[in-house]
């Protein structure tokens, strides 16, 4: 399947690095108080580092030799105090940056989850769910790392480099100029490295997300894999995908190692040149020896700081590949009105009439495959409409169009006389309940599953209602009854029981339109009859849309639409269609034979 929506690689138009950096810093804005304190601690710590060469310069000054020995104890005590202050500053800096990183990580996970969930449903047709959930944790973790560690390191060493250079320039501008020039050349060389590093990291993250989601898929399908004897096949696929991750990872560490070792070598050579040049100045008596010593010390601080700075910057750039992807995912999210349905849903509206007029439809991802052609139907309050037809004839698609998950290519759906696109998300969700063939249950308690999205219901009310429904008689014997916690996807109950729970969940919403899409396929005919009877009793004025292969389910419908390849082949009541002796008639005779 195509995965067009998920940003995959570094190709194509990208926001510039600075834009991502600005967004990163903006994430920390809500925590600016702590951030400022962290910055202050950082600067105090770094400033103390920069005091030492100056002390050395003074200590080695021949003019101060006598006073130095007298003041030594005071000097040492002062130094000790400075160390303590530096220790406190260090603690504050690392704690606060770490704290902010965790806070940003948590904000981002939440934001990403909301953004992904509000995306158009086609997004989920294109992307694997496992991959999306991996990205929430692993890609957002990159942002945490970028904020908590990399930014702090960059600011710290950036500060030391700048201050160090200023202090050096004060001692000897010629030497400083020589140093700065060489450093600038290095920066130019590193830019190319950093670009390739970023691309390699993006590849690595993408491959890793594929791998993780594949593993998740395998674990949830473990029984099928076992039954197919496909463990070997699956393992081979995993091994191949794993190899791709390894290759990308190797490539990344390769670039990274070449980069940092090259940078460190260059820096040392640089210091050597400075020392040489400085000694010349000393021999020429234009620079005192103690100044040169201090200068070299500053040079070492600047050089080491710079190499850390470059290292952190390159790692930040690696992370930025993933960081950009997080921002892209958040920004490209379809901010539709679905938000207004959340929380404030008041289910159980007035009866509705839905008309489908000359509906044509193709899925956006497969525009060439015409799924529905000129489909017309009327769903009236209190009526039962059935859809029947071979698999792939477009039945489930009709249900999803009614739910406004997709929009017809042409034609119109009217909801109580209004075009469907004008009906608010909240009103629609409150009026329509949908039970697909494979209903989704979640790993919470049965009660929470039954009232998901419908949490204004009182617990007693739910209990009473549910106890009265015979088709839910399997709940009571369970050890914790309605508070039994279901496994992932509702494992722990059988497929048919899952369907029954899903039907109950829909019914509790008292929908005006109930869509059952092969929702009783796992039930025996007796239970199915119980279900249908309960539905009619519980929501007598609702309109029912029943999709089923089973004639027993559809025969009592007011109108039956027989679909074939997206077109209505026949329509009418059971008796009319049987009399017509067409496709429906042939179904009837075939099922009667069995």
Choose among ligand ADP, Mg ion, none what residue 363 binds, the Cβ cut-off being 5 to 8 Å by kind. ligand ADP
The answer to whether 396 contacts ligand ADP (rule: CB under 6 A) is yes
Report how far residue 289's alpha carbon sits from residue 281's, in angstroms, rounded to the nearest whole number. Answer: 9
Nearer to Mg ion, 396 or 559 (CB): 396
- Pick the binder of ligand ADP from 15, 392, 419, 487 (CB under 6 A): 392
**Sheet containing strand 559-564, strands side by side:** 432-435, 513-517, 543-547, 384-388, 559-564, 567-572
- For residue 486, the 8-state DSSP code is P
**Residue 295 token pair:** 């200068």
Nearer to ligand ADP, 390 or 443 (CB): 390
Residues ≥6 apart with Cβ < 8 Å to 456: 345, 346, 347
> Is the CB of 193 or the CB of 361 nearer to ligand ADP?
361
How is residue 384 written in tokens?
């039962």
If we measure between CA atoms, which residue out of 404, 429, 439 comes closest to residue 519? Answer: 439
Which residues between 450 and 469 bind ligand ADP (CB under 6 A)?
Answer: none
In the stretch 337-376, what mask flags binding to ligand ADP with x, by CB under 6 A? Answer: --------------------------x-xx--x-x-----
Gap between the Cα atoms of 227 and 223, Å rounded: 6
Minimum CB–partner distance for residue 396 and Mg ion (Å)? 3
The token duo for 444 is 């919470």
Q: Confirm if 376 and 568 have CB atoms less than 8 A apart.
A: yes
Q: Which of 134, 152, 256, 397 binds ligand ADP (CB under 6 A)?
A: 397
Q: Which residue in 54, 114, 120, 125 binds ligand ADP (CB under 6 A)?
A: 125
Q: Interface with ligand ADP includes 391 (CB under 6 A)?
A: yes
Judge contact between 21 and 141, C-beta under 8 A.
no
Report the C-alpha dihedral over residues 388, 391, 397, 399, rounded to 10 degrees.
40
148 vs 523 by CB, closer to Mg ion: 523
Q: What angle do CA 133, 517, 412 make, to 5 degrees?
A: 90
Residue in 134, 172, 396, 543 binding Mg ion, rule: CB under 5 A: 396
Span near Mg ion by CB under 5 A; candidates 105-113, 275-283, 291-299, 391-399: 391-399
Residue 315 tokens read as 């790692």
Shortest gap between Cβ of 120 and Mg ion (angstroms)?
21
| Total binding residues toward ligand ADP, as defined by CB under 6 A | 14
SS3 (DSSP) at 346: coil
Region of 40-48, 71-79, 315-323, 390-398 interacting with ligand ADP (CB under 6 A): 390-398
Task: Provide the H-helix boundaries in 515-558.
Answer: 525-538, 551-554
Q: What DSSP designation does 147 have?
A: I
Residue 504 CB, shortest distance to ligand ADP, in Å, is 23
- Binding region for Mg ion (CB under 5 A) out of 322-330, 388-396, 468-476, 554-562: 388-396
Residue 393 contact, options Mg ion, ligand ADP, none, Cβ 5-8 Å cut-off depending on partner type: ligand ADP
Which C-beta is closer to ligand ADP: that of 427 or that of 517? 517
Residues 394 and 392: their CA atoms lie apart, in Å, by: 6
CB of 371 to ligand ADP, least distance (A): 4
Can you tell me the distance from the alpha carbon of 241 to that of 245, in angstroms, rounded to the nearest whole number? 7
Cα 270 to Cα 292, 558, 570, distances in angstroms = 15, 89, 86
Q: How far is the CB of 548 from Mg ion (least distance, A)?
A: 10
527 binds ligand ADP (CB under 6 A): no
Q: Which range binds Mg ion by CB under 5 A, 171-179, 389-397, 502-510, 578-586?
A: 389-397
Cβ atoms within 10 Å of 65's Cβ, excluding its own = 10
* CB of residue 2 to ligand ADP, shortest distance in Å: 10
Choose the one of ligand ADP, Mg ion, none that binds residue 125, judging by a C-beta under 5 to 8 angstroms depending on kind: ligand ADP
Residues of this chain that bind Mg ion (CB under 5 A)? 396
**Residues at the interface with ligand ADP (CB under 6 A):** 125, 363, 365-366, 369, 371, 389, 391-397
């Amino acid at each position: 399947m195509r995965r067009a929506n998920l940003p995959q690689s570094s190709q194509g138009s990208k926001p510039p690095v600075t834009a991502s950096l600005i967004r990163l810093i903006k994430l920390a804005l809500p925590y600016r108080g702590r951030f400022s304190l962290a910055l202050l601690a950082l600067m105090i710590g770094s400033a103390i580092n920069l005091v030492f060469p100056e002390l050395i310069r003074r200590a080695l000054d021949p003019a101060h030799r006598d006073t130095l020995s007298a003041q030594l104890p005071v000097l040492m005590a002062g130094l000790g105090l400075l160390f303590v202050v530096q220790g406190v500053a260090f603690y504050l800096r690392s704690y606060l940056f770490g704290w902010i990183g965790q806070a940003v990580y948590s904000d981002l996970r939440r934001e990403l989850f909301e953004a992904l969930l509000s995306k158009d449903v086609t997004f989920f047709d294109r992307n694997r769910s496992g991959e999306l959930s991996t990205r929430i944790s692993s890609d957002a973790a990159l942002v945490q790392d970028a904020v908590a560690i990399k930014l702090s390191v960059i600011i710290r060493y950036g500060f030391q480099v700048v201050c160090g250079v200023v202090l050096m320039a004060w001692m000897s501008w010629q030497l400083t100029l020589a140093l700065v020039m060489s450093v600038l050349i290095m920066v130019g060389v590193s830019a190319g490295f950093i670009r390739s590093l970023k691309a390699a990291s993006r590849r690595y993250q993408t491959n890793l997300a594929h791998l993780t989601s594949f593993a998740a898929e395998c674990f949830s399908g473990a029984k099928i894999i076992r039954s197919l004897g496909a463990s070997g096949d699956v393992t081979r696929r995993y091994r191949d995908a794993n190899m791709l991750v390894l290759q990308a990872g190797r490539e990344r560490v390769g670039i990274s190692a070449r980069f940092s070792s090259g940078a460190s070598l260059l820096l040392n050579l640089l210091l050597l040149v400075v020392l040489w040049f400085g000694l010349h100045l000393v021999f020429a008596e234009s620079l005192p020896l103690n100044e040169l010593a201090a200068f070299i010390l500053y040079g070492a601080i600047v050089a080491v700081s710079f190499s850390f700075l470059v290292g952190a910057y390159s790692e930040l750039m690696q992370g930025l590949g993933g960081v950009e992807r997080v921002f892209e995912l958040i920004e490209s999210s379809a901010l539709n009105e679905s938000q207004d349905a959340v929380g404030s849903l008041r289910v159980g509206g007035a009866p509705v009439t839905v008309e489908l007029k000359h509906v044509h439809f193709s899925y956006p991802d497969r525009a060439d495959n015409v799924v529905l052609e000129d489909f017309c139907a009327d769903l009236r309050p209190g009526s039962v409409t059935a859809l029947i037809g071979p698999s792939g004839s477009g039945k489930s698609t009709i249900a999803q169009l009614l739910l406004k998950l997709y929009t017809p290519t042409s034609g119109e759906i009217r909801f109580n006389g209004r075009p469907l696109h004008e009906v608010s998300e909240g009103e629609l969700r409150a009026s329509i309940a949908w039970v697909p063939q494979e209903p989704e249950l979640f790993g919470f308690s049965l009660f929470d599953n039954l009232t998901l999205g419908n949490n204004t219901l009182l617990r007693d009310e739910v209990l009473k209602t549910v106890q009265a429904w015979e088709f839910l008689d399997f709940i009571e014997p369970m050890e914790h009854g309605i508070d039994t916690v279901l496994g992932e996807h509702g494992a722990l109950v059988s497929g048919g029981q899952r369907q029954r729970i899903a039907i109950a969940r829909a019914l509790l919403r008292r929908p005006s339109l109930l869509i059952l899409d092969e929702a009783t396929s796992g039930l025996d005919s007796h239970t199915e009859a119980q279900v249908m009877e309960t539905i009619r009793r519980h929501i007598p004025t609702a309109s029912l849309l029943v999709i089923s292969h089973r004639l027993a389910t559809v025969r009592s419908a007011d109108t039956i639409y027989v679909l074939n390849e997206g077109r209505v082949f026949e329509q009418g009541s059971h008796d009319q269609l049987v009399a017509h002796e067409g496709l429906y008639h042939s179904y009837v005779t075939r099922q009667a034979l069995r």
